[in-house]
Amino acid sequence: MKENETIKAVIFDMDGLMLDTERPLFPIWKNVAETYGYKLDDKILIKTLGTNEEGTRKAITENFSSDFPYDKIRSDVSRLYREELDKGIAHKEGLLALLTHIKLCEIPMGVATSTRRESALNKLSKTGIIDYFKIIVAGNEVKNGKPAPDIFLKAAELLGQLPSLCMGFEDSSPGLQGLYSAGIRSIFIKDIAEPPPEVLTKVWKRYSNLAEAIELFK
């Protein structure tokens, strides 16, 4: 039996998995925080990967006192980040090859991103890939963000498939944990951080880039 015979739908994360939108964010966070007199290192920022706004706030503020000006810093970061993305957003390696192949296989695809819906639609439209996806679930549309399974369960439901018949692509530890909890087979494509061993043991498949995963659909 081919591995893809029971794959009825595919769910993709967005930032860091399909689009190179997380690497530009780290230096912006660091530079803005420094102007307010605070130091944010990679260990702190890595904890924000794959999380929604609530998760990002928690990951950063738990390292500082209660007077940490998170909202002011976040506002400046958001403005500078938008300006950076306006310069262009790069696809991750192999993205179009994989999306095109899955489309030819007539397997429906969806997006499950921790990003808020308005921002997600903007990024997907700007990069020319929004039409590949049947459904989009954003971080502000579920009660609990990744690593909870909520967003993946909702995506599977909207795609009309049982979680066990879906496959999910992720680059972050929270995302991979969420897929596992949802009962969805996970594909890990590394972007910035390597998940801890206890998370990697729950990963179904791992590839260096998205194009390598085409073999799953042959």
pLDDT score at 218: 84
Domain C-terminal end among 41, 56, 85: 85
Chain-centroid distance of CA 133 in Å reads 15
Same structural domain, 16 and 66:
no
Check which CATH number belongs to the domain holding 34 and give it.
1.10.150
Domain span including residue 36: 25-85
- CATH classification of the domain holding 176: 3.40.50.1000
Instruction: Classify each residue of 93-126 as buried b or exposed e, where b means 16 or more C-beta atoms within 10 Å of its C-beta.
Output: ebbbbbbebbeeeebbbbbbbbbeeebbebbbee
Say whether both 104 and 167 belong to one domain: yes
* Both structure tokens of 211: 């194009």
List the chain residues with pLDDT less than 50: 1-2, 4
Q: How many Å apart are CA 89 and CA 25, to the nearest integer?
A: 12
pLDDT at position 5:
55
CA distance 56 to 45: 8
Q: What stretch of H or E contains 210? A: none
Model pLDDT, residue 2: 44
Q: Which of 54, 85, 116 is the last residue of a domain?
A: 85
According to the model, what pLDDT value does residue 1 have?
30
195: in domain: yes
Q: Identify whether residues 52 and 143 lie together within a single domain.
A: no
